[in-house]
Structures are given as structure tokens and as C-alpha cells.
Amino acid sequence: MANYLKRPQGTEDITPERIRKWYTVEKVTRDVAESFGFSEIRIPTFEQTELFQRSVGETTDVVQKEMYSVIARETKFTLRPEGTAGTIRAMLQNGMLAEALPQKVFYQLSCFRHERPQAGRLREFHQFGVEMAGAASPYADAEVILLGKTVLDRLGIQNIVLNLNSIGCPTCRAAYQQALKAYFEPHKEQLCETCQERLVRNPMRLLDCKSPEDQEIAKDAPVILDYLCDDCKAHFEAVKSHLTSMGVEYVINPKIVRGLDYYTKTVFEFITTSIGAQGTVCAGGRYDGLIEQLGGQSIPALGFGMGLERLILTMEQQELGFMDAKVCDVYFAPMDDAARPTALQYANALREMGVRAEFDLMDRSFKAQMKYANKLGARYLVVLGSNELEQGSGQLKNMITGKQTPVRLDSAEHFAEDYSGISLADLFETES
Ligand code: ATP
Ligand code: MG
């Protein structure tokens, strides 16, 4: 075992080799969010612990078991386990909710949860998320769901099912919680310890338990849809009808209650079978009570979080394409020390034009430089030998087609001019 420190369990290094996958999902999620009129927000990595206790909820797995908290100089802080609480806090603190509504924001951020690490379940993971505040209309629900669906479609993801449910409002939930209590009470002894406590404090959380024994007990539990009040029922019907009119397919899944306490009415998850047990790629819903709970006015809101690791896993499983992360357009191969200043100068002239240019920094032999340029995936190669520099001309070699084209090597400007023409012509050729 090599003698260096290892990364903490449940964290990942995103190496340059994998970064293009991240660029792909970051770009697509950003582009889609912006096309729906959402603006980016960036919030702190940690918040006061109380923020998550008040918003995510005391009876959730996240708050009960998964938070990374520290006491620093007598204040309790927690690494954000999700993005909604901090985003709503930021909206309140920056007066955004006093401006024209709805406010629509998105984020790409890391989240921290102390969970048992496994495929698709990390201790530091990343979410793309959107939050919309101010709109009570069922069109807003449909719009947010459509945004998520558009991301998945644009990435080419298949075999992913939109699971839809409504968990009603505090009014209809009161009767439902009673019914759940009555259902689970006789099984109390068989439930896990956490759920025994949930039975008293928040029986709906029982449906969210990950323990297979508890899930078996919950199999025939009453479903919330039978308890919805007229208002919640009408809202749910409207959401479904808007989704249908936009061609978004869904299944109704009454077991979806979401892990977080602040949800009301519509809740949804996009679930795929491509990546095993942790198949929920995107999860969200409406949380009309949250803003008031955090000290603001009563303003309806909704959103979702999409797990970027699970998104990438799904794309890998489905063998989907990722953006190219080309590192090198032109590689200069100086044949001796005398050619090195020229290589540096020419490379810089290209960089000024936004071209990715590199040259040998390792005093490699000609053969070794070729090998390295190939490994880099350089698109073009220019050999700078004493002959070429004396004559003021040489060859631009296209490493993909092998074609060589004469270029001037008497000045960086001339070379850059020739390069532009040739690379543009090549581009047209490969695209046609
Ligand atoms: P799960 O039921 O899988 O534990 P959750 O209900 O805790 O999920 P949310 O809080 O809704 O998840 O987070 C939104 C999304 O973030 C999830 O759907 C998932 O894609 C991703 N996610 C959540 N926890 C993790 C984790 N530990 N590792 C990787 N991705 C995660
Ligand atoms: Mg969880």
C-alpha cells in the first residue's frame, strides 16, 4: 500500500479523464434551465444547522442520521445536505421574494450526507436543482417537471419513468396521518427503531423507510390519494392534464412521499432501472409551506434536485455520448533547443486566437514527441526542425487524416494565418 493519505470514504475525485462527462451534464442542465427562464444562484457550502432542522425536518433520515455538523465558536453549522433550504434562505435574505414573482433559480452544487457509501450513494455528491417561488398554479408544477424531463431527453436518457403523487396539504394530511397510525400501530414492535419514533411524530415518514422489513409492512398501507381534499384533488388533476397535453408520460405511485418534510401537493421522482437500487435520478415537488416556515410570508414554491452522479452513471450504462474534452488542437514538436523559442512563440500566437496549443516541455526525442502528441489526441502537429526554420516553411499535419499541408514558418503571424485557413477548411470537410 503506497504511503499517502486516501480520500475520505464516499467521496470521489473527478479526474481530467472523466471531466468531459461532468462538462456535458453541467452544460445541458444549465442550458435547459436558462431556456426555461431560470437564473443561477450560488449559496454557501455550510449553513446554520437550525436551517436544515427547520426546513428538511426533524423526522427525516437526512436530519436524524446524515448531517455533517460541527460546533465552531459556539455556533452549530452543517454542510448542506441539499440545496433547497439554503436557496430559500438566500431568496429571503436578499429580498428576492419582494420582487416580481415567480422567482426562478437553478444551482449546481455539492451536497454532503453521512450515508453508507455504495453505487449511486455517496457522502459528497452533486445536484443540479431548480426552485420556483411564487406560483401556485398547476402549470408551474407541470413546467418544473417538464424542465427535468427536457434535461433527461436532451442527454438521450431512456427507460426512465416519471413517478407522480400528491401528498396533499396539512388539512387532508391530518386525516391521512391518523389512518396511517391506525394501520401501523398493530405492527409497531416489528418496525425499525427510527420508524417506531416516526409512528408517533410523523407516520408518513414510515413510507419512506429504506428497510425491506418496514417496506413489507407498509405494502398495504392506506394511500394518500384517497384522502385528498377537493382543492388538492383539483390541483393534482390539473397537473396530470397539463403533463398529458405536453406529451409527458407518468405513472401514479402513492408510495412516493419524498424524504423531506416540507413537501405539499405534487411530489415526483424520475426513476430508472438502469443503475440498480439507487434509481432515483431526479426528485422534487411542491413545498408551499416552506417559505413561511423559514420566517417569510406564505408564498407557494416548488422545485427538484437531480443527482449528477446518478445521471452520469445512467448515461454510462446506456452508452450515451458525452461532449469531447479536447485538450490540444496543435502540438509543436521542436527538434532541438534552437527551435524551442519558436515553438513557444507560435503556440502563444495560437492561444491568443483561442486555439489550444502546446509544445514539448520534456526534451523528448522526435519519436517520443509523436507518441505523446498522439496520446494527447492533438488534432495537428507541426515539426520545427532546423531545415524548416531556415526555409521559413514546413508542414501542418492533420493527425486524424494524416494529410500534410504546407504552412509558412517565417513568422508567428503568417503561421497563425495559414493555420486558420487550413483548420477551417478541414472543419467544413469533416462536417459535410
Ligand atoms: P434516496 O431516496 O435515494 O436516499 P433522497 O430522497 O434522500 O434519495 P433527495 O434528498 O430528494 O434524495 O435528493 C435528490 C436527488 O439527489 C436524489 O434523487 C438523488 O438523485 C440524489 N442523491 C440523494 N442522495 C444522494 C447520495 N447520497 N449520493 C448520490 N446522489 C444522491
Ligand atoms: Mg436519502
Last residue of a domain, one of 292, 317, 342: 317
Q: From atom 29 of ligand 1, which residue's Cα is the shortest distance away?
A: 121
158, 274: one domain: yes
DSSP H or E run through 371: helix 366-376
Instruction: Specify the CATH number for the domain of residue 419.
Output: 3.40.50.800
Q: Please give the pLDDT value at position 365.
A: 92
For the question of whether the overall pTM of this predicted structure is more than 0.85, the answer is yes
- For residues 184-208, give the mean pLDDT: 88
Res. 200 pLDDT band, cuts 50 70 90 = confident
Q: Which one-letter DSSP state was computed for residue 102?
A: P
Going across the sheet that includes 380-384, the strands are: 357-359, 330-334, 380-384, 393-398, 404-408
pLDDT tens digits along 320-358: 999 987 789 999 999 999 999 999 999 999 999 999 999
Q: Indicate whether residue 257 lines ligand 1 (CB < 6 A).
A: no
Do residue 138 and residue 287 come from a single domain? yes
> pLDDT class for 430, splitting at 50, 70, 90?
low
pLDDT at 201 over 60: yes
Distance 45 CA to ligand 1 centre (A): 17
In this prediction, residue 327 carries a pLDDT of 80
Domain count, the chain: 2
Q: Are residues 159 and 279 in the same domain?
A: yes
Residue 391 and residue 288 share a domain? no
CA distance 140 to 303: 10
- Mean pLDDT, the chain, as a whole number? 94
> In the structure, what pLDDT confidence band is assigned to residue 170 with cuts at 50, 70 and 90?
confident
pLDDT of 172 above 60: yes
Same-domain pairing of 313 and 348: no
Proportion of the chain above pLDDT 90, given as a percent: 81
102 part of a folded domain: yes
236 and 297 assigned to the same domain: yes
- 62 inside domain: yes
Ligand 1 atom nearest to 278, measured from its CA: 3
Nearest ligand to the CA atom of 65: 2
Instruction: Please check whether residues 265 and 122 belong to one and the same domain.
Output: yes
Q: Does one domain contain both 272 and 361?
A: no
Judge whether 191 lies within some domain.
no
Q: Is 309 in the pocket of ligand 1 (CB under 6 A)?
A: yes
For residue 309, the enclosing domain spans 16-169+229-317
Residues 374 and 298 in one domain: no
- Nearest atom of ligand 1 to the alpha carbon of 281: 20
> Which residue from 39, 55, 166, 169 is spatially nearest to 104, judged by alpha carbons?
39
User: Within a domain: residue 323?
Assistant: no
Domain shared by 146 and 276, yes or no: yes
Co-location of 140 and 266 in the same domain: yes
Ligand 2 center to residue 62 CA distance, Å?
7
pLDDT tens digits along 232-249:
999 999 999 999 999 999
Task: Supply the pLDDT for residue 318.
Answer: 96
Q: Quote the cell numbers at residue 373.
A: 502528441
Dihedral over Cα of 86, 90, 91, 93: its sign:
positive
Residue 259 has pLDDT above 70, yes or no: no
Residue 273 forms part of a structural domain = yes
Please choose from 280, 290, 311, 313 the residue to mutate so as to test ligand 1's pocket, defined by most ligand atoms within 8 A of CB.
280
- Tell me how far the alpha carbon of residue 307 lies from the centroid of ligand 1, in angstroms: 6
Q: Is the pLDDT of residue 287 over 90?
A: yes
